[in-house]
Each structure stands twice: as structure tokens, then as C-alpha cells.
């Protein structure tokens, strides 16, 4: 290790597996110090913002859902909200409830997928869900059952679980009957038990110490845990700064994206600082608005009690990315409960949608994708044609925080003497999976490049 | 923590799943086969499936499923390497089979696109086109859909294991729509519907939910697009509307039909 000449070492690690999409990681290590950790999301550019130009105002929900097969509902919902905002239409009442129900379905299946198939294997030393199904069959079966129930909700409301066809600007093409929705109730009641058991299961995992030093950004509603709407709200990492919200129309001024040479994903910063969206941010911003049952589960899981916060007290803010799996599990439980509540209160609306007449204007829409805040903005001409589109996905926002996470983690690993490629890769993969990144557009092998100089 | 692995039959066929430019939706369809998933895992050795497993074993593979379109110079190289390692190669989804929604760029100015999305387009490496896998290497079977249908995917895997041709019908969505007992949205409500020219596989989802089919499975084996156009015009669509309607998730395939009256994809094997 006393080689005086700078040495460049490139390692090809065959996979950053079990994330959606594929990515590479570049580490620069100088004299045992990590000077840089860059997540190389060099997905082939997919041009969605360009494809949208010239399309009719009814088209973005179907088109943008193809950005991500794991959270298509999120894309459809953010697109609808932005378009309706531009056209001056508000969708409320039972139609809004149905949208929330659809979104709950996606939360259930997507968070469950992440918990059981992508994340849990890390805690239990397995390569994948297949290995897990041998060592922990009952947990995998329960996970599959839970995920199926989430899929069933999306399928009933949307027609199919991936790229649902029933969503339209203004609401739905067809609203389900009460009787149809009731068919889901029994499964959802089983899912409620399954979700509880999942919380207990993941609460028993071993969580390494870690802290993510980023501002937390999530949508907030006054009286409910924000999913399909809300005001962007920030909990700064610097505790001397108060939490604050800003209007959605200011989003791209506050969350500024910049392109960096190492990635096709744009990097963004919130008011000049690193920020994180997703489960940890939602829990920090809106945890106190969860249902009593979900709060009980959260307490049991060791997440603390947001109701007992003193003032804005950060006591119960969880900043350990490893523990995000706990928040996800609690969110699944909450989504199941919400789904049951919405179904119980459902009255079929007179029309499955409200008219959304085209007009010139600019509209903003944001919702809470399972992985974090997803923002859309569209500009339309008088004929309702898209003249400009802007989409800010959660992973692009989280990238800076993930990289900082990786830098610290690798540093800690090096300090402990875990310097081998295999050890570092394992560490980094886990760290990235903690954040459930949705790099859906990437298409490359995961490579870990370590550049070491001495 | 882990119980001993039960003895495995010696020669399970090896499965590889690979991703190109895509949204992951078609791969996810495999993970959505909850009821069949563990059964599939028992029949096939999952040798390479990055979305699902850290285990990424080298080829050769007996069955390779490819998702996504070829859209970078690196893709062109990689699909050749994968083909060389694959005994049987199946494309899954509109991206891999027809270039997908990505192929909208094939009819546009990509330099202009790059400038729209990226401040520094020179950092980005891309091809001016998004092409199907079959434009680069021979493909044994093409499964359509954006996304593919779960039932059809299970059929393709089952057929592979049984050594027979997948029974995937080549007819249009209208057949499925009739079988499902739907009221025709075009006839009853004057709603434009691509069902008559679209490949079956979704179970006529859109008409079942009261909207017109938007063509996500691409053209059916035999189509009569010229006969459908006046009907869409009657229902209030301009030529431009019809263009956009056809040019979305399977733009290259429908364009081929417009130009040659034939689906522009190679699978006629598929008629079962
Ligand atoms: S065909 Fe559709 S669902 Fe499949 S990967 Fe492409 S965009 Fe996604
Ligand atoms: S609704 Fe569409 S798919 Fe169904 S019969 Fe009519 S044209 Fe065909």
C-alpha cells in the first residue's frame, strides 16, 4: 500500500442488483480517504419531456406512466394533477377518494415488493427472494400475498397492475360499483394482518447505525397522511432552521436540477442543500397524521411516537436509511387501512370523471410516489397541446443524498479495515437499496469503479 | 438461519433476464406472477435477473428474456453478446419487440431532443433510433404488449419448458372483446378504438373499461388499417389525431402497417 505512484483501479461488479434499473458507482479513494462517491446513472436518455411536446392535454397520463413500470400510478396521478391545475379543474369527492384508493394499491404492492424481494434479503444474508423463500418461506409467501392484494386493487380500478388503462384526466373512464369494490374487502382484511406481521418481522432485523444528513422533503396535508396531493414541506437537517412549506408552483425554483457529467439523471438541490424524499421524509413530515393502528405499529417497530414530539421536536425523526424498511412496512399497513376505509365509505359517483376542457396555461402537480415526491409541470397552448413538460422524479432528487450516504459508509468501512472490493460492493449495494432508487431508465450493468491513489 | 437447500434436479434450464432501454414493467410482470413464481423458480435456474437477484451468473443460458429497446452504441454490442450466450431468445414487450415508446425519437430530431432535456447534450451517448432486438440479432419469439400480459408470459415459459410453440393467438383485440361480451365502444358510443387492428393479449381491457383500445400490443397478424381510418374520422378524429393515436407505444410497428400494410415485426410463429 506504499506504492507512491497514483494507481487507477477499475472494478466491474456484475450487479447493483435488486434495484429498479441498473446503475454504476464510481469511488475515488485517496490515501484511504473517500474523496468522491458518484452514482453513475447513465441510463440511455429516454426523452419523455420531448415526446410530450405537441401531444393533446389528455395524453400525458398514459405516456408518462411508461417512465416507470414499478410506479406507473404515481406518474399518472402527478400528470393528472398538473393538467387539471393548468385547466383550472379540481377533482374531489368520491373521484378523489378513488384516486387515493388506486394509489394505496400501488403503495401496497410497490412497498411490499421492495420490502420482501429487494430489501429484506440484505438483512438475512440472501441473494434474492428465491433464496429467501427457502430460508424464510412463510415470510415470502405472506409478502407475495400482500403484493397480490395491492395488485388486485390496482387491477380492479385500473384494469391492470402495470400501466393501468382506466385513469384519465378528470377521473376515470369507468367508476367501479360498490359491489365490485366490496370484493376487495376480504382480501384487504387478510392484508391488514399480513401487514402487521410484516412490521413485526422487519422490526426484528438488525440495523446498522447510520444517519442521512439531508433535508427531508415530502408533501403535507393538513389532516391526512399525504399521498396524492399536498404542499411541499421541508424539515431541514440543521435543527436551528424551522420546517417550512412552499407553493408547488415554486418547485423548480426551489429544487434546482443540474446536469453532471457522470450521469444522465439530473442532480437536484433544494434551496441549495442536499435533500431526501421518500418514506423517511414522509414519516418525518406527516408521521403524526397516520391512523392510530399504524402509529401503534410504528411504536412497536421502534420508530417512536411522532405524537409525543415536543413542538416540531426532531426526537422521532428517523434518519437511518437502513430503517426505512420499517417505515415502508408501516406505510403498507396504513395503505391497507386507508383502502378499507375508502371502500367502506364509497358511493358510486354519477359520472366517472369531470370534464377538463383544454385551455392555455401552465399547471403543476405533485404526488408521493412510493419512492418519494414526483413533480410534473406542463405548459399548454390554446388548443390544449403540450408546449413544454418538466418531470422531476424522486430518484433524481435523492441522488445527492445517496451519494453522500455512500461516501460516509465506504469511509467507515475503510476505517474498519473493510477495504476489499467484495466488502465495499456489498456495503454500497445495501446502502443504495436502502433508498429504493427507481432508476427505471438505466440500462447498464452495475459497475463499481474504485479509483485509488496513494 | 437458512435451512439446507433441498437437492436440485441436475439439469434445470438456465434463465437469463436482460434489460435494455425500458421502464422495467415487463420484467416486473414476471415478479407479478406471484402464484407461479415459486413454481417457475423450481423449474428454471434463475441465473441472471438483476432486478430480482444479486446472483448474476455468466451464460450460456437456455432461455433468455429481453426487455427494452436497443438505443445506445453499447446496447448494440451487448445484445450480440447475449444472443451468443442464449439458446432460446424471447423478447418481452413493445420496447424489445418494436422499439417501444422510445421509438418516437426515430421520427424526430434527436439532437433537438437532447437539447430539450439536457443542458449539456454532449455528455450523453445515444443512438438516433430506438430499435427492436430483432433489428440486431435473430429472435426466437416475440411477446407483445406494453406491458406484456402475465398469462401470455407464463404460456411462453411453459411452452419453452415443454419444448413446444407458445399458443399465442395472432388475432385482433376485437375477438377478445367479443368473447368478453363487451358492448362495442365504437358502435355504441362512437369512441375511436384501435381494437380491430391491434394484437390480442390484454383481454380487451380498454373497451371493458369503456375507452377505446390504444394499441399497446401493436398490430395484429392481419390488419385492415385503411378500413378503420374513415371510422375514426367519422368519430371526430383529425388526421393528426389519428397519427398520434397510432404513433405511441408501438410507433414503428404501426408505421410499417401504414407503409406496407404489414406488421413490421417478425413474429408470425406466434399464431397458435
Ligand atoms: S414495453 Fe412498455 S411496459 Fe414493457 S418495458 Fe417497454 S415501456 Fe415498459
Ligand atoms: S370496442 Fe374496440 S375492440 Fe371491442 S369490438 Fe369494438 S372496436 Fe373491437
For residue range A285-296, list pLDDT tens digits in order. 999 999 999 999
User: How much is the pLDDT for B4?
Assistant: 62
CB A332 within 8 A of CB A195: yes
User: How much is the pLDDT for A317?
Assistant: 85
User: How much is the pLDDT for B269?
Assistant: 42
Query: Using CA atoms, how far apart are residues A333 and A321, in angstroms rounded to an integer?
Result: 20
Q: To the nearest whole percent, how much of chain A has pLDDT over 90?
A: 54
User: How much is the pLDDT for A349?
Assistant: 97
- Using CB distances shorter than 6 Å, the residues near ligand 1 are A 66, 69, 163; B 22-23, 25-26, 67-68, 93-95, 100-101, 146-147
Please indicate whether residue A23 or residue B24 has the higher confidence score (pLDDT): B24
Distance A100 CA to ligand 2 centre (A): 30
Q: A135: which chain B residues are within 8 Å (Cβ-Cβ)?
A: 1-3
DSSP symbols for A178-221? HHHHHTTHHHHHHHHHHHHHHHHHHHTS--------SEEEEEE-
- Are A15 and B71 within 8 A, CB to CB? no
Of the CA atoms within 13 Å of residue A308, those in its CB half-sphere come to 9
Per residue in A337-363, pLDDT tens?
Answer: 999 999 999 999 999 999 999 999 999
**Whether the predicted pLDDT of A452 surpasses 70:** no
Per residue in A244-256, pLDDT tens?
Answer: 999 999 998 898 7
Mean pLDDT of chain A: 84
Q: B56: which chain A residues are within 8 Å (Cβ-Cβ)?
A: 14-15, 17
Cell of A155: 387491477
Do you find a cis peptide bond into B60, omega within 30 degrees of 0?
A: yes
Query: Using CA atoms, how far apart are residues B195 and B184, in angstroms rounded to an integer?
Result: 10
- Are A440 and B24 within 8 A, CB to CB? yes
CB A185 within 8 A of CB A343: yes
Per residue in A105-127, pLDDT tens?
Answer: 999 999 998 898 888 888 888 87
DSSP state of A36: E
- A3 pLDDT band, cuts 50/70/90, is very low
CB A37 within 8 A of CB A363: no
Beta partners for A216?
A235, A276
User: How much is the pLDDT for A192?
Assistant: 97
Query: Using CA atoms, how far apart are residues B49 and A269, in angstroms rounded to an integer?
Result: 33
Mean pLDDT of the A409-413 span: 83
User: How much is the pLDDT for B155?
Assistant: 93
Mutate to test the pocket of ligand 2, among B207, B214, B219, B231 (most ligand atoms within 8 A of CB): B207
Which of these, A202, A243, A242, A99, lies nearest to A157 by C-alpha position?
Answer: A99
Work out the burial of residue A240: count CB atoms within 10 Å of its CB; fewer than 13 is exposed, 13-18 middle, 19 or more buried: exposed
Segment (H or E) for A167 = strand A167-168
Q: How far is A198 from chain B (nearest CA, A)?
A: 17
Q: Is A63 left (phi over 0), alpha (psi -120 to 50) or beta?
A: alpha
Torsion of CA B91, B93, B96, B102, to 10 degrees: 180
**Whether the predicted pLDDT of A198 surpasses 60:** yes
Segment (H or E) for A37 = strand A33-40
- A259 pLDDT band, cuts 50/70/90, is low
Beta partners for A295?
none
Segment (H or E) for A389 = strand A386-392
Q: How far is B159 from chain A (nearest CA, A)?
A: 22
- Are A59 and B205 within 8 A, CB to CB? no
Which of these, A367, A362, A373, lies nearest to A81 by C-alpha position?
Answer: A367
Backbone angles phi, psi at A260, to 5 degrees: -120, 155
- A225 pLDDT band, cuts 50/70/90, is very high
Interface test with A, best of B209, B215, B238, B251 (most A CBs within 10 A): B209
* B14 in contact with A, Cβ within 8 Å: no
**Whether the predicted pLDDT of A260 surpasses 60:** no
- Are A162 and B52 within 8 A, CB to CB? no
Give pTM, 2 decimals. 0.89
Work out the burial of residue A205: count CB atoms within 10 Å of its CB; fewer than 13 is exposed, 13-18 middle, 19 or more buried: middle
Sheet strands (E) in chain B: 14-19, 45-49, 61-67, 86-92, 141-143
Q: How far is B166 from chain A (nearest CA, A)?
A: 22
- Are A18 and B206 within 8 A, CB to CB? no
Exposure string (b/e) for A10-46, b if CB count within 10 Å is 16 or more? eeebbbbbbbbbbbbbbbbbeeeebeebbbbbbbbbb
Mutate to test the pocket of ligand 1, among A62, A69, A70, A165 (most ligand atoms within 8 A of CB): A69
User: How much is the pLDDT for B41?
Assistant: 78
Atom of ligand 2 nearest to the CA of B195: 3
Which positions ≥6 away from A80 have C-beta within 8 Å? A61, A91, A99, A167, A168, A169, A170, A365
* B28 in contact with A, Cβ within 8 Å: yes
- A28 pLDDT band, cuts 50/70/90, is confident
Residues within 8 A of A (CB atoms), B 184-213 only: 202, 205-206, 208-211
User: How much is the pLDDT for B10?
Assistant: 57
Atom of ligand 2 nearest to the CA of B204: 3
- Are A165 and B53 within 8 A, CB to CB? no
Distance B90 CA to ligand 2 centre (A): 29
- Mean pLDDT for each consecutive 10-residue tract of chain B (272 residues)? 56 91 90 77 85 76 95 89 96 94 75 55 60 94 95 93 92 94 93 94 95 94 87 92 88 79 51 34
- Are A63 and B248 within 8 A, CB to CB? yes
Strand, coil or helix: A256: strand
Centre a 10 Å sphere on the Cβ of residue A415 and count the other Cβ atoms it contains.
11
DSSP state of B156: H
Which positions ≥6 away from A351 have C-beta within 8 Å? A171, A175
- A12 pLDDT band, cuts 50/70/90, is very low
Q: Which of A16-30, A188-202, A231-245 has the lowest mean pLDDT?
A: A16-30
Distance A273 CA to ligand 1 centre (A): 35
Q: How far is A46 from chain B (nearest CA, A)?
A: 6
Which of these, B22, B122, B106, B247, lies nearest to A43 by C-alpha position?
Answer: B22
Distance A198 CA to ligand 1 centre (A): 30
Mean pLDDT of the A276-283 span: 94
User: How much is the pLDDT for A23?
Assistant: 63
Amino acid at each position: 500500500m506504499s506504492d507512491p505512484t497514483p494507481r487507477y483501479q477499475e472494478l466491474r461488479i456484475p450487479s447493483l442488483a435488486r434495484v429498479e434499473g441498473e446503475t454504476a458507482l464510481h469511488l475515488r479513494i485517496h490515501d484511504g480517504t473517500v474523496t468522491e462517491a458518484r452514482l453513475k446513472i447513465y441510463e440511455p436518455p429516454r426523452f419523455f419531456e420531448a415526446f410530450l411536446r405537441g401531444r393533446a392535454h389528455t395524453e400525458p397520463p398514459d405516456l408518462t406512466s411508461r417512465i416507470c413500470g414499478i410506479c406507473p400510478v404515481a406518474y399518472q396521478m402527478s400528470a393528472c394533477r398538473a393538467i387539471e391545475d393548468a385547466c383550472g379543474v379540481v377533482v374531489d369527492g368520491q373521484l378523489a377518494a378513488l384516486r387515493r384508493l388506486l394509489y394505496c394499491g400501488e403503495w401496497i404492492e410497490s412497498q411490499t415488493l421492495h420490502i420482501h424481494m429487494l430489501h429484506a434479503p440484505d438483512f438475512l444474508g440472501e441473494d434474492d427472494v428465491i433464496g429467501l423463500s427457502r430460508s424464510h418461506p412463510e415470510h415470502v409467501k405472506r409478502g407475495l400475498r400482500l403484493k397480490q392484494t395491492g395488485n388486485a386493487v390496482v387491477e380492479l380500478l385500473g384494469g391492470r397492475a402495470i400501466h393501468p388503462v382506466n385513469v384519465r384526466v378528470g377521473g376515470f373512464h369507468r367508476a367501479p360499483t360498490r359491489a365490485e369494490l366490496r370484493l376487495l374487502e376480504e382480501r384487504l382484511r387478510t392484508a391488514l394482518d399480513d401487514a402487521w406481521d410484516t412490521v413485526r418481522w422487519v422490526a426484528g432485523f438488525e440495523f446498522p447505525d447510520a444517519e442521512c444528513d439531508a433535508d427531508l422533503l415530502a408533501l403535507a396535508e393538513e389532516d391526512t397522511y399525504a399521498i396524492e396531493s399536498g404542499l411541499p414541506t421541508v424539515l431541514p437537517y440543521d435543527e436551528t432552521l424551522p420546517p417550512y412549506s412552499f407553493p408547488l408552483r415554486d418547485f423548480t425554483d426551489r429544487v434546482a436540477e443540474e446536469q453532471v457529467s457522470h450521469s444522465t439523471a439530473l442532480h437536484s438541490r433544494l434551496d441549495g442543500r442536499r435533500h431526501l424524499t421518500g418514506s423517511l421524509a414522509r414519516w418525518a413530515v406527516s408521521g403524526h397524521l397516520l391512523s392510530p393502528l399504524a402509529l401503534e405499529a410504528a411504536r412497536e417497530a421502534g420508530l417512536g411516537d411522532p405524537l409525543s414530539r415536543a413542538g416540531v421536536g426532531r426526537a422521532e425523526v428517523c434518519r437511518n436509511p437502513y430503517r426505512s424498511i420499517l417505515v415502508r412496512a408501516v406505510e403498507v399497513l396504513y395503505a391497507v387501512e386507508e383502502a378499507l376505509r375508502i371502500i367502506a365509505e364509497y358511493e358510486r359517483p354519477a359520472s366517472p370523471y369531470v370534464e377538463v376542457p383544454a385551455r392555455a396555461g401552465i399547471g403543476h402537480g405533485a404526488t408521493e410516489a412510493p419512492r418519494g415526491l414526483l413533480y410534473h409541470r406542463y405548459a399548454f397552448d390554446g388548443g390544449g397541446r403540450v408546449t413544454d413538460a418538466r418531470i422531476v422524479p424522486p430518484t433524481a432528487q435523492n441522488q445527492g443524498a445517496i451519494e453522500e450516504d455512500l461516501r460516509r459508509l465506504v469511509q467507515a468501512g475503510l476505517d474498519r479495515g473493510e477495504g476489499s472490493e467484495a466488502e465495499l460492493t456489498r456495503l454500497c449495494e445495501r446502502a443504495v437499496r436502502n433508498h429504493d432508487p427507481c432508476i427505471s431508465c438505466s440500462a447498464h450493468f452495475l459497475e463499481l469503479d474504485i479509483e485509488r491513489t496513494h | 438461519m437458512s435451512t439446507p437447500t433441498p437437492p436440485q434436479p441436475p439439469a434445470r434450464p438456465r434463465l437469463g433476464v436482460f434489460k435494455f432501454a425500458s421502464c422495467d414493467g415487463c420484467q416486473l410482470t414476471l415478479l407479478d406472477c406471484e402464484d407461479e413464481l415459486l413454481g417457475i423458480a423450481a423449474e428454471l435456474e434463475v441465473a441472471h435477473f438483476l432486478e430480482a437477484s444479486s446472483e448474476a451468473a455468466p451464460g450460456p443460458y437456455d432461455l433468455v428474456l429481453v426487455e427494452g429497446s436497443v438505443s445506445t452504441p453499447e446496447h448494440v454490442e451487448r445484445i450480440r453478446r447475449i444472443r451468443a450466450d442464449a439458446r432460446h431468445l424471447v423478447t418481452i414487450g413493445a420496447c424489445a419487440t418494436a422499439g417501444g415508446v422510445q421509438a418516437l425519437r426515430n421520427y424526430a430530431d434527436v439532437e433537438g431532443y437532447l437539447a430539450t432535456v439536457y443542458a449539456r447534450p454532449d455528455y450523453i451517448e445515444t443512438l438516433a433510433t430506438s430499435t427492436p432486438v430483432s433489428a440486431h440479432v435473430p429472435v426466437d419469439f416475440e411477446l407483445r404488449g406494453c406491458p406484456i400480459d402475465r398469462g401470455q408470459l407464463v404460456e411462453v415459459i411453459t411452452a419453452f419448458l415443454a419444448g413446444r410453440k407458445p399458443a399465442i393467438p395472432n388475432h385482433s383485440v376485437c375477438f377478445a372483446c367479443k368473447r368478453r361480451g363487451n358492448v362495442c365502444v365504437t358502435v355504441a358510443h362512437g369512441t375511436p378504438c384501435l381494437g380491430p387492428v391491434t394484437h390480442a393479449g390484454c383481454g380487451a381491457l380498454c373497451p371493458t373499461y369503456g375507452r377505446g383500445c390504444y394499441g399497446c400490443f401493436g398490430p395484429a397478424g392481419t390488419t385492415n388499417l385503411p378500413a378503420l381510418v374513415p371510422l375514426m374520422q367519422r368519430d371526430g378524429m383529425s388526421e393528426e389525431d389519428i397519427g398520434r393515436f397510432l404513433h405511441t407505444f408501438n410507433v414503428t410497428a404501426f408505421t410499417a402497417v401504414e407503409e406496407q400494410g404489414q406488421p413490421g415485426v417478425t413474429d408470425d410463429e406466434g399464431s397458435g
